[in-house]
Amino acid sequence: MKVGFIGLGAMGSAMASNLIAAGHAVTVWNRSAEACAPLASLGARVASTPERAAQGEVLCSMLADDRAVRAVFFDGGLLDAMDPGTVHVNHATLSVELTRELAAAHAQRGLDYVAAPVFGRPEMAAAAKLSIVAAGKAEAIETVQPLLQAMGARTWLLGEAPERAAVVKIAGNFMLASAIESMAEATALTRAHGVSAADFLEVVTSNMFATPAYQVYGKMIAEQRFKPAGFALPLGYKDVGLALAAGDAARVPLPFAGVLRDSLLEALAAGDEDMDWSALSLVAARRAHLDKRGN
């Protein structure tokens, strides 16, 4: 299949490389052109503009946030440059509001829009083990299913309204942030009583919390391994904000999301923005003055 892929961060690069490995003809574009070089060495064509990347049957995008998507598709004119019948598959975590706007704008231009955000860190993307939630017209999803299979371990289909996939991804990231915050606070508590983070987290992630989310992030917290960031703190802050916005729109109170937003904002204010969002544990430790106690 002839595929364009725009947005080549750690996740997008890994996903595009799996499309190449699966035999698809992939054309890539990224705002920072140097990110294209590794994919070119694998056989991808490099486009000089997003419009040139969107010349195939499908365009996949993995841009950072709502602002980046608006800049490329609306302000940059990519939507108007795409040929009718093209399927655009968005893999990023976007707001419910923008997802609805994108679906309507694509339909007005004879384009298909599939929201297919992914769960998983860069190492899972590289191993093609992402979990993908997808929503859009059935025919469009059928068209792109071979691509989703090349990038992920499983795809969950959530109906024809793209915002369903968007809100599932937002809610899932809210749950992940909640797990990290709970481990951060619990670890601060045990450390204050002389139990190391490694010992405590080994206990709880080996039995009642023996799941990938707790085990992966628990190990990072125990090892204080926050760089390089697999999922940077500013992205976590953005996604919790998306959860709060979705809650406001549907009148769904999310009181703990407010706590998470403040914790993430505190981490950003402390200069931790280049760290993984598991560095929330540093916020809990600072609040407890653990370093001053020698714990």
Let me know whether 284 and 146 are in one domain: no
73: CATH: 3.40.50.720
Let me know whether 171 and 154 are in one domain: no
Let me know whether 28 and 98 are in one domain: yes
Q: What is the rounded distance in angstroms from the CA atom of residue 174 to the CA atom of residue 110?
A: 34
Lowest mean pLDDT among 15-24, 187-196, 261-270, 283-292: 283-292
Question: Is the pTM of the predicted complex or chain greater than 0.85?
Answer: yes
Let me know whether 15 and 130 are in one domain: yes
Q: What is the rounded distance in angstroms from the CA atom of residue 156 to the CA atom of residue 243?
A: 20
Q: Based on the structure, what is the number of domains in the chain?
A: 2
Q: What is the pLDDT of residues 228-253, one digit of tens each?
A: 999 999 999 999 999 999 999 999 99
Does residue 294 have a pLDDT over 70?
no
Q: What is the pLDDT of residues 96-152, one digit of tens each?
A: 999 999 999 999 999 999 999 999 999 999 999 999 999 999 999 999 999 999 999
Per DSSP, what are the bridge partners of residue 89? Answer: 60, 114
List strands edge to edge, sheet with 2-6: 45-46, 25-29, 2-6, 58-61, 87-90, 112-115
Q: What is the rounded distance in angstroms from the CA atom of residue 182 to the CA atom of residue 270?
A: 20
Q: Catalytic residue among 2, 137, 169, 238, which?
A: 169
Q: Which domain holds residue 191?
A: 167-293
Let me know whether 7 and 128 are in one domain: yes
C-alpha distance from residue 173 to each of 17, 257, 290 (Å): 25, 11, 28
> Residue 143 CB: number of other CB atoms within 10 A?
19
Task: Examine the fold and report which residue of 97, 125, 160 is the final residue of a domain before the chain moves on.
Answer: 160
Q: By three-state DSSP, how is residue 195 classified?
A: coil
Whether 169 sits among the annotated catalytic residues: the reply is: yes
Q: What is the pLDDT of residues 51-71, one digit of tens each?
A: 999 999 999 999 999 999 999
181: CATH: 1.10.1040.10
Per DSSP, what are the bridge partners of residue 280? Answer: none
Task: Examine the fold and report which residue of 104, 128, 160 is the final residue of a domain before the chain moves on.
Answer: 160
Asked if residues 71 and 40 have their Cβ atoms less than 8 Å apart, the reply is no
Q: What is the pLDDT of residues 66-76, one digit of tens each?
A: 999 999 999 99
- Determine the average pLDDT of the residues in 197-207: 97
Task: Examine the fold and report which residue of 104, 135, 160 is the final residue of a domain before the chain moves on.
Answer: 160
